[in-house]
Amino acid sequence: MDSKQATEYSKVVKIIKENGGEISSTVHRKVFALITTLGAVQRCTQRVRKACKLDIPVVDVSFLTESVQKETFLDLNNFYLDLTNVKRELERREKAKDDHSDAAGKEETETTSDVSITSKHVRKIHLGCCCSCHDSEKASCSWCEKDH
């Protein structure tokens, strides 16, 4: 079986199980290696990003097929996929996340009785007292004495 035939997930799973390996559908710290394709790395899939974050080796599916053909566990170092773009993407996402949280942290939030607004969206204008008691031309009331 060549690399192209083994690129389908179900075929890769079958090869691994037939040769005594274990499969995890999720990437976690106990995963030995992520066996994938160059296409998955180029698309920066979730599994590839997670493996990169956890420093789990990401190797080409040819590692699997060649190991089976030669009936030995080959050296992973010969099958590592280049994760430069994945690392850049992770850095970009982290920076965007930081920029978003910095911007959110700098906004002043002003809470009224029924809505919360941020200074980012509004310009403060003091309109004075808006109590209905002033409709009868009363000069001041207990609610707004500080404004008069």
Q: What percent of the chain has pLDDT over 90?
A: 22
pTM > 0.75? no
- Condensed to tens digits (0 to 9), the pLDDT of residues 123-144 reads 444 455 555 555 555 555 665 5
Average pLDDT value for residue range 86-90:
88
Q: What are phi and psi of 111, to 5 degrees?
A: -105, 130
- Condensed to tens digits (0 to 9), the pLDDT of residues 25-41 reads 889 888 999 998 888 89
Task: Provide CB contacts within 8 A for 37, sequence distance 6+.
Answer: 7, 60, 61
**From CA 34, how far away is CA 47, in angstroms rounded?**
8
**From CA 15, how far away is CA 68, in angstroms rounded?**
8
Range from 50-64, 117-131, 132-146 that averages highest in pLDDT: 50-64
